[in-house]
Structure formats: structure tokens, C-alpha cells
């Protein structure tokens, strides 16, 4: 199991115009002045737990072993939803029990998850509207000061999760969906090179066609520069996912599409 570093990442939907993120950082640095703080993003769509889950999964593994990842997108703050702290083979995660850890838990079935119950690891007299500051930030800071993981609270094995969309076969087509739209308007799907190879083996067609919302894309290009500024093209992105893009433009705006849109490989 990892030993906590003094490195804490922060992922929220708080934006940067208000005091929310600064307050969390102040709490952490008061408890552990030697901690290092890294902002993953604070520009997530408000209340979008699935976007937070996707971004966290996309980047957590590129940090050193022992990094503490704090993710707070928490539309249920102040309700009975539980605050979680989790330990994988290499990392720690703190998040509300609202599905935010779904994709992380799917990658590591042996992850140890506890409810943050110990009042010693919260701010005194916490409120009901800002657990990012009052609960998750201090708990993360205390963790980096080598507090025993078991001391945070009871083990739980029934974390709330959302259904992970998986590609499925329909006749001779493999159907996935858009799972994320990035700031460039790229449409990122849950289809991978492995899915494309699976289709090739079954259909014997060397270059599958990609169909989305009435548009057909003929195979893949190798880079964004090889794309077209007028029509969408597709490539495999840096996370190994099929992505539909418009060179120096927004495929999402051009096609008027967002998440959950079906993508077909034929």
C-alpha cells in the first residue's frame, strides 16, 4: 500500500472567481504547510459527476505514488450522502459518495474504501454547504501527515456508482457513445483500437466506417493536423479512445452533439 506524499491534487466544479478553491487550499496548508497542491481543474460543468469521474480517471495515474487526489463535485452536499476516502495500490482518493469514484473503482476492485467519520479530521463546527473546505480538505491534509488510514472511519463496500456505458453489438455494427466533450469541442467516445480490431476480425473489412448523427467518417487519421477544417475526422487520442474532431474547430458545435450520442463502427 502507498505512503501518502505531501502532494495533493484538487478537482472541483467551483471555478476560479469565488473563494471556494482558495479556502480549501488555505485549510490544507494550515494543517500541513509542507504540502504541495496541484489543480487538476476547477472548470468542470457544475454538478457533473460523470465529467469529474472521466477527468480523474484520465490523469490520476500520471502522478507519483502516494499522491492524494481530492475530487469535489457534490450536488448532494448537506444530505446523508457519505464522504469517502479510498486507498488503491498506489494512490489515495477523497470524494463524495455520489458515483465520482465509479471509473476508479472499476479499474481496481481491491481498493479499500472508508467513510470519513473521525471528527478529528474535520474543521471544528463544520457547516452543511461546503464539505470541500470543512471535510475533504482537512482530511486530505491529515492523511499527508501520516495519520493511519484505518483511523478515518469504517470500511464500506457499497459505494454509489453510475452505469458505465460499454460498446455493444447491433447486427454487424459495434455501437459506442460519446462519453466526454473537451474544451476544444472534441467528441470523445468509449470506443478503443481494440474495438476496431474486433470489428475487423468479424467483418473482414480493413477500415471500419464511423457513423455519428447522420455523418460518416472514413477511417482514422494519425494527428489533428491531418484533419479537415470543414468536415469532422476521427483519430485515437492520447488516452486510447476514438475521438471525433474538427481541425482547429469544434466538432461538438459543428454537429450540435454532446455526451451520450451514439457512435457506430461499421
Compute the distance between CA of residue 52 and CA of residue 162 in angstroms, rounded to an integer: 12
What distance in Å separates the CA atoms of residue 144 and residue 28, rounded to the nearest whole number?
10
Mean pLDDT calculated for residue range 112-126: 96
Are the beta carbons of 137 and 109 closer than 8 angstroms? no
Does position 172 have pLDDT exceeding 90, yes or no? no
Question: Which domains are present in the chain?
Answer: 7-152 (3.40.50.10790), 168-265 (2.40.30.90)
Write out pLDDT tens, residues 257-266. Answer: 999 999 999 9
Taking only the tens place, the pLDDT of each residue in 59-88 is: 999 999 999 999 999 999 999 999 999 999
- Look at residues 22, 259, 27 and name the one whose alpha carbon lies nearest to residue 140: 27
For residue 4, is pLDDT > 80? no
Q: How many CB atoms lie within 10 A of CB 104?
A: 23
Q: Which residues of 46-78 are buried (b: 16+ CB within 10 A; e: fewer)?
A: eeebbbbbbbbbbebeebeebbbbbbbbbeebe
- Residues 245-254 have pLDDT tens digits of 999 999 999 9
Q: With 80 as the cut, is the pLDDT of residue 177 above it?
A: yes
C-alpha 246/C-alpha 266 separation (Å) is: 21
Going by pLDDT thresholds of 50, 70 and 90, the confidence category of residue 119 is very high
Residue 3 pLDDT exceeds 80: no
The closest alpha carbon to 77, from 131, 136, 122, belongs to 131
The residue-averaged pLDDT of 213-231 equals 93
Q: Count Cα neighbours of 52 within 13 Å in the Cβ-side half-sphere.
A: 32
Cβ atoms of 83 and 115 within 8 Å: the answer is yes
pLDDT reported for residue 109: 84
Residue 203 belongs to what H/E stretch?
helix 193-203
Per-residue pLDDT at 89 exceeds 90: yes
pLDDT of residue 138: 98
pTM: 0.92
Please give the mean pLDDT across all residues of the chain.
Answer: 95
Q: What is the pLDDT of residue 10?
A: 99
How high is the pLDDT of residue 219? Answer: 87
Given the DSSP bridges, would you call strands 112-115 and 83-87 parallel, antiparallel or unpaired?
antiparallel
At 159-170, the pLDDT tens digits run 999 999 899 999
Amino acid at each position: 500500500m502507498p505512503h501518502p506524499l505531501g502532494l495533493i491534487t484538487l478537482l472541483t466544479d467551483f471555478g476560479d472567481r469565488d473563494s471556494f478553491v482558495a479556502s480549501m487550499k488555505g485549510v490544507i496548508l494550515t494543517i500541513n504547510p509542507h504540502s504541495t497542491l496541484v489543480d487538476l481543474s476547477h472548470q468542470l460543468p457544475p454538478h457533473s459527476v460523470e465529467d469529474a469521474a472521466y477527468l480523474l480517471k484520465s490523469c490520476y495515474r500520471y502522478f507519483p505514488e502516494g499522491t492524494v487526489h481530492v475530487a469535489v463535485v457534490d450536488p448532494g452536499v448537506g444530505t446523508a450522502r457519505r464522504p469517502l476516502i479510498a486507498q488503491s495500490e498506489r494512490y489515495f482518493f477523497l470524494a463524495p459518495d455520489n458515483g465520482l469514484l465509479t471509473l476508479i473503482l472499476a479499474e481496481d476492485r481491491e481498493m479499500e474504501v472508508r467513510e470519513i467519520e473521525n471528527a478529528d479530521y474535520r474543521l471544528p463546527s463544520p457547516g452543511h454547504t461546503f464539505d470541500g473546505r470543512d471535510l475533504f480538505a482537512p482530511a486530505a491534509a491529515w492523511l499527508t501527515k501520516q495519520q493511519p488510514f484505518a483511523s478515518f472511519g469504517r470500511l464500506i463496500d457499497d459505494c454509489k456508482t453510475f452505469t458505465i456505458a460499454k460498446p455493444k453489438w447491433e447486427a454487424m455494427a459495434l455501437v459506442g457513445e460519446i462519453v466526454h466533450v473537451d474544451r476544444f469541442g472534441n467528441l470523445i467516445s468509449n470506443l478503443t483500437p481494440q474495438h476496431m480490431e474486433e470489428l475487423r476480425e468479424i467483418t473482414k473489412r480493413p477500415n471500419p466506417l464511423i457513423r455519428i448523427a447522420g455523418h460518416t467518417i472514413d477511417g482514422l487519421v494519425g494527428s489533428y493536423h491531418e484533419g479537415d477544417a470543414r468536415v469532422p475526422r476521427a483519430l485515437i487520442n492520447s488516452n486510447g479512445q476514438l475521438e471525433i474532431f474538427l481541425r482547429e474547430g469544434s466538432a461538438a458545435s459543428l454537429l450540435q452533439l454532446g455526451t451520450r450520442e451514439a457512435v457506430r463502427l461499421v
